[in-house]
Chains A and B, each alone.
Chain A
Amino acid sequence: MDDAQVVAALVRRCVAGDATAWEDIVRRLNRRIYNICYRFTGSGDDAQDLTQEVFIKVYRTLDSFDVEKGSFMTWVTTVTRNLLVDHFRKTKQDRVTDSLDNSGSEDEDMLPLSEQIADSGPSPDVRVHRRETQELVQRALQKLSPELREAVILRDLQDMDYKDIALSLKVPEGTVKSRINRGRVELARLLSRTYRQVM
C-alpha cells in the first residue's frame, strides 16, 4: 500500500469519526504544509498560523473530499494555496516593501554565486554563507508575484508533478510550465541584480 492509499484510508476512518486517524493525518502532513506556507510567506509565525488554518479548514470540509477528483494531498494543497492567496491579499497593505537590493548590501563579503551553490563544505564560514544565501533566495522568492511563487514552490520545493500542480492551481498544465519558467527566470534576474550591486 503506497502513501496515497494509506492517507486515503486514514481519511475514510476520519470521516467515520475516528479521532486517531485525524491525528495521523496531521502528523503526516503538517511538515509539508508548514513548508509551503513558510516559503510562500517567509515568516515562521505566519506559516504556523496558516498551517493551523489549513488543517481547521480541511477538518471542517473533509466530507466534501472526493477521491475521484484527485489525491488527498492535491486537495490539501489546493486548500493551502487558496488560504495563502487570501492571506496575501489581506496583508498586501502591511507588507514590507524593502528593496531586495538594500537587504543585499549587508553581505559585501559573500562568495560568488556559482561558488555558493556548488559549495557544500562543512566549515562554519561556508555554513554562514549558505544560510545568508538561503535568506537572499527566500527574500527574492517573496518578490515574485503569487502566481509565479506558488508554481515554483510546488515544483522546485515540493517536487509535485505538473499534473498535480495544475489540479491544485486549477489552471492548464501548459500554464503551470509557463509560470514555473517565468518564476525561475524572474528569481534568477532578481538575484543576479542583487549580486551585481554587491560585487
Chain B
Amino acid sequence: MQGEFQNGFKCADFDALLTEAIDGTLTGTQSMRFEAHRESCAQCSVLFAEAKAGHDWLETLPEVEPPVNLVKLILAATQETVRAETDARHARQSWSERMRELLALKVRPVFASVAQPRFAMSFGMAFFSVTLMLNVTGFRLTNLRHVDLRPSSVVRSYYETTGRLVKYYQNIRFVYEIETRVRELKRAATPEEKPSGSDKPQERKEQNRGNDREKNYQNYSREDSSPYLAQMTNGVQDELTAARRCS
C-alpha cells in the first residue's frame, strides 16, 4: 500500500470499505472516492478483484440438504442425554438428597397453599398450647430418651401397667369395704339415744343421710364381694389392720 492518494483517501480506507463495496452498499461520495482509488492504485485494484472473485466463488456453493432423519436423531440424542444425566445424578445422590428432591417436586407444591401467614399463626398457636399443656402436666420430652422401645420391653411395660391398675382398683375397693364395715361396727357398738322433741326432725335427717351413705357403701359392696362380706363379721379387726398396711 502506498499510503495517501488523491482526496486524502488511503489504502487503509480502501481496505476498510472493501466489504461494503463488494456487498454493493457504498453510496454517494464514499463510493466515488473508493472507485477513484481503485482505478489509481494497482495493488488495491488487484485486492478488490481477488476479494470479489472469492466472494463469487463462495456464492456458487449451494445450501446442502441435511439427512432426512437428522431431526429424529437430534431429538433422540437430546432425550437420551437428558435421561443419562438424570440417571447419573440419581446414582450420585444419597437417599436424603433424593427425599429432598421428592419433597421439592411432590410435597412442597401441595403444601404451598398452606404455607401462608394465617396458617403459620394457627400452627404456632396450636404448638404453644400443646407445649403449655405438657409443661403443666410435668411431661418432659427429654424423658423419652430413656424409654426402651424394644418389643419385649414394650410388652413387659404393658403388663406391668395393667397389673398396677388392677391392683390399685382392688385396693381402693378394699378400703371402701373396710370403711363400711367399721362404720357398721361403730353404729352397732353405740347405744341408741332417745331423741328429744325439739331435735327430732334434725336427728331424723342425719340418720337418713347416714342410712343413704350406708346403703351406697352396701350397694357397692354387694356388687362384687358378697362372699367377702360374709367373712368380715368374724375377723374385722384383722382385716382392718391389713387394709391399713396396704394403704
Contacts and interface: CB of A to CB of B under 8 A. Distances in A.
Interface stretch (A65-73, A98-106, A184-192): A184-192
Interface in B4-25: 15-16, 18-19, 22
Interface string B63-92: 110110011011101100110010000000
Contacts of B70: 30, 34, 48, 51
B1 interface: no
A191 B62 CA distance: 18
Contacts of A27: 71
Interface of B is mostly: helix
Interface stretch (B34-42, B48-56, B175-183, B203-211): B48-56
B133 to A, nearest CB: 47
A7 interface: no
Contact of B61 (A52, A59, A157, A191): A157
For this complex, into which size category does the number of interface residues on chain B fall? Answer: 20 to 34
Contacts of B56: 117
Interface of A is mostly: helix
Given A30-B74, A51-B70, A56-B81, A181 B51 contact: yes
For this complex, into which size category does the number of interface residues on chain A fall? Answer: 35 or more
Nearest to B18: A181
B246 interface: no
A137 B60 contact: yes
Contact of B60 (A23, A44, A130, A155): A130
Nearest to A185: B50
A50 to B, nearest CB: 11
B51 A185 contact: yes
A156 interface: yes
A99 to B, nearest CB: 18
A159 B50 CA distance: 20
Interface string A50-78: 01100110011000000000000000000
A177 interface: yes
Contacts of B52: 184
B136 interface: no
23 contacts: A27-B71, A39-B64, A44-B67, A52-B77, A59-B78, A59-B81, A117-B57, A133-B60, A134-B60, A137-B57, A137-B60, A141-B58, A162-B19, A177-B16, A178-B15, A181-B15, A185-B47, A185-B50, A185-B51, A185-B54, A187-B54, A188-B57, A191-B57
Interface of B: 15-16, 18-19, 22, 47, 50-64, 66-67, 70-71, 73-75, 77-78, 81-82, 85
The 10 closest A-B pairs by CB, nearest first: A184-B54, A188-B53, A188-B54, A156-B58, A34-B66, A187-B54, A188-B50, A185-B50, A184-B51, A177-B19
Given A48-B66, A52-B73, 7 more contacts: A44-B67, A55-B78, A152-B54, A157-B63, A184-B22, A187-B57, A187-B58
